[in-house]
Amino acid sequence: MGIQIGCLSLDIGQSELVIHNMELFTQHNGLVASMDRAAVDTDQIIPKQFLKRIERTGFGQFLFFDWRFNEDGSDNPEFELNQPEVAGASVLLARRNFGCGSSREHAVWSLADYGIKVVIAPSFADIFYNNCFKNSVLPIKLDEDTVEQLFQRASQHEGYKLTIDLEQQTVTDEHGLQLAFEVNESHKHKLLNGLDDIALTLEQEDQISAFEAERL
């Protein structure tokens, strides 16, 4: 068994398995974009006509396509992410049940490719939530009152930024805010170490190799 974590490829017999190389997530400071919408579904995050690509990259240009663009292809000036004051935002603030709908992992791919590192909402669809941790995006669940407070702060402070510390599990801003959030230890370990599910398994390479040798 050959393993390389960097390019992350694994040779097993005659086959080669290529593993997604995730970015490490420890701490992030980013501009906040507010999306005051509940139940944003995956078909709006990445419409179905763009699911034909087989790569994980290149989906950012299609993120929220039906909302971001007019029928003639021009930018929709009313859409939240098209506002000049949030250009380059990497923290997305949303309402409850974000990522509902179909289970397409492309929804997270498009967010990540666009540059979104953190999504904060009161709740997430389960499959979307788990897909985030497989793609270096941190979904943070905060109660509705706290999320409302963040919406208010974002509207009061132009260029509003948040700092997210995954190790300490805190969300802070430049105006005295400090919040704590919960995250599963397994999910946290993946993001802190840049591990997808396969790379996580390969942390047990010695045991896997020993089992294979004994079986043969």
In a domain, 3, yes or no: no
Domain range enclosing 41: 22-215
Chain segment 139-164, per-residue pLDDT in tens? 999 999 999 999 999 999 999 999 99
Chain segment 71-129, per-residue pLDDT in tens? 999 999 999 999 999 999 999 999 999 999 999 999 999 999 999 999 999 999 999 99
Please determine, for residue 49, whether its predicted confidence score (pLDDT) is greater than 50. yes
Number of neighbouring beta carbons within 10 Å of residue 78:
9
As a whole number, mean pLDDT of residues 5-27 equals 55
In a domain, 13, yes or no: no
Chain segment 121-130, per-residue pLDDT in tens? 999 999 999 9
In a domain, 14, yes or no: no
> How does the average pLDDT of the chain come out, rounded?
89
Angle at 126 (CA atoms; ends 9, 46), nearest 5 degrees = 70
pTM over 0.95: no
User: Minimal CA–CA distance to 105: which of 68, 67, 140, 55?
Assistant: 55
Residue 211: per-residue pLDDT: 81
Residue 201: per-residue pLDDT: 66
DSSP string, the chain: -EEETTTTEEEETTEEEEPP-PPP-SEEEEEEEEE--SS-BHHHHS-GGGTT--SSSS-GGGTTHHHHB-TTS-B-TTSGGGSGGGTT--EEEE-SSBTBSS--THHHHHHHHHT--EEEES-B-HHHHHHHHTTT-EEEE--HHHHHHHHHHHHHSTT-EEEEETTTTEEE-TTS-EEE----HHHHHHHHHT--HHHHHGGGHHHHHHHHHHH-
In a domain, 136, yes or no: yes
Number of domains in the chain: 1
In a domain, 159, yes or no: yes
As a whole number, mean pLDDT of residues 164-175 equals 98
In a domain, 157, yes or no: yes
Q: Is residue 21 classed exposed, middle or buried when 0-12, 13-18 and 19+ CB atoms within 10 A define those classes?
A: middle
In a domain, 84, yes or no: yes
Residue 180: per-residue pLDDT: 98
* CATH number of the domain that residue 195 is part of: 3.20.19.10
In a domain, 1, yes or no: no
Residue 9: per-residue pLDDT: 40
